[in-house]
Structure 1
C-alpha cells in the first residue's frame, strides 16, 4: 500500500507545468499509481526524473524512450487515454 505522503509527493512531481503532460500524469498518479505493482511504481518514479521535453515527445508519439522501463510506463499511460 502506498502511503499518503508518497502520493502527495508524486502528485506534485507529476505537475510539470506543461498542460499536455499534466493532463496525462496527474490523473494517472491519482487514479492508477496506487494500484500498480511495485515494479510499475518504480517505472513511474523513474519517468518523473526525465526531462519534460523528452516526455512530451514520447507522449505525442514523436519518439520512443531508449529505456525499456520507460517504454513500458509510457505505453501504459498512453493506453489508458487512447481509444481502443
Structure 2
C-alpha cells in the first residue's frame, strides 16, 4: 500500500519535536511498520497527524486517547519497546 515515496514521507513524519516521541516512532517505522496490515498502516499514519503534546500524554500514560484505533496502535507500539 505504501510505495517508496509515501513510506519515505511517513518516516520523515516520525521525526518529531520531542526526543521521547522520536525514540518510539523512528525505530517502529523502520522495523515494525511494514509488518502491519494495510488498515493498521493507515491508523499509524493517522496517529502521526496528532500534536506532540497529545501524543506524549498518551504514550506516557498521562491521558487516555478516546479513539480506540489510535489507542490500540499506541498499545502495539509500546508493547514492542517494553523490555
Question: Which TM-score applies when normalising by structure 1?
Answer: 0.92
| 1:10-49 equivalence runs, <5 A | 10-49=10-49
1:44 Cα offset (Å): 0.2
Take 2:35 and 2:2, find their aligned partners in 1: how far apart are those partners? 9
SS at the partner of 1:57?
Answer: helix
Compute the displacement of 1:2 (Å). 3.2
| C-alpha deviation, 1:39, in angstroms | 1.2
Structure 1 unaligned residues grouped into runs of 5+: none
Query: Runs of 5+ in structure 2 lacking a partner?
Result: none
Runs of 4+ aligned structure 1 residues displaced above 3 Å come to none
Determine if contact 2:17/2:52 at 8 Å carries over to the other structure. no
CA shift, 1:17, in A, is: 2.1
